[in-house]
Amino acid sequence: MSSENLPPDVIKRVVKELKELNSSTLEGITLLPCEEDITNIEAVVTGPAGTPYEGGYFKARLILSSDFPRSPPKANFITKIFHPNVSKKGEICVNTLKKDWAEDLGLKHILLTIKCLLIVPNAESSLNEDASRLLLENYEDYCKHAKLFTSIHASKPIVDINNNNNNNNNSENTATPTSTTSTPSITTASTSSPVKKKTETTTSTTTKAQPKKSLKRL
């Protein structure tokens, strides 16, 4: 669904919340917004320490309906995960997005709730019977299965995290290359002496090509 289907006041609210999430730091949560469609929101949830999901990177998606915020968004994990409250297709079951939903609950609250679900699973609202049964009957086996899924499907950092951090620190990153390229020690060492040697022994066309070679060494 496109954001065009949302009322202007809702679009304004969602944009504001996304900006706040981008400017703030949520421990273990990295927002991956899609500027083209604000109704499709993705985030990476890092597996909390002390849980079977520790060390994992789980991409989650929130899909806002045209009836948002009267109706809660749909939430699912894109990354495969072994969890009582997550179906094999990735659908997330949590009371916040069902009977406990309220219009004033924001995106930040939803993402934090999903993260907390990795810390404290709820066997009563199960979407994965195998995970729920192991959680209740044999916690050690449940942890083994969850750790195995994490190591297979969620052990590699998601590249989008780095891209998102680069975007948030865009002003710092643009300033850094400028300062390094203008540093005398770099420019003098790489361009002055080689060019002088070439200008004494070669033609003008060779002299023009030389700076390109020195730039490649940089």
Distance CA 159, CA 3 (A): 26
Distance CA 84, CA 118 (A): 10
What are the backbone dihedrals phi and psi of residue 42, each rounded to the nearest 5 degrees, phi first? -120, 150
Domains of the chain: 3-168 (3.10.110.10), 170-217 (no CATH)
Q: What is the pTM of this model?
A: 0.71
Among residues 34, 93, 116, 143, the one annotated as catalytic is 93
Q: Provide long-range contacts, Cβ within 8 A and 24+ apart, for 159-164.
A: 160/30, 160/32, 160/42, 160/44, 160/59, 161/30, 161/32, 161/44, 161/57, 164/30, 164/31, 164/32
Of 72, 62, 74, 54, residue with least CA distance to 118? 54
Per-residue pLDDT of the chain (218 residues; tens, 9 = 90+): 556 678 888 899 999 999 998 888 889 999 986 777 889 999 999 999 999 999 999 999 999 988 999 999 999 999 999 999 999 999 999 999 999 999 999 999 999 999 999 999 998 889 999 999 999 999 999 999 999 999 999 999 875 454 554 554 443 343 333 333 343 333 333 334 444 444 444 334 444 444 444 444 43
93 is catalytic: yes
H helices of the chain, where? 8-23, 107-119, 129-137, 139-153, 159-168, 170-181, 184-187, 193-201, 204-217
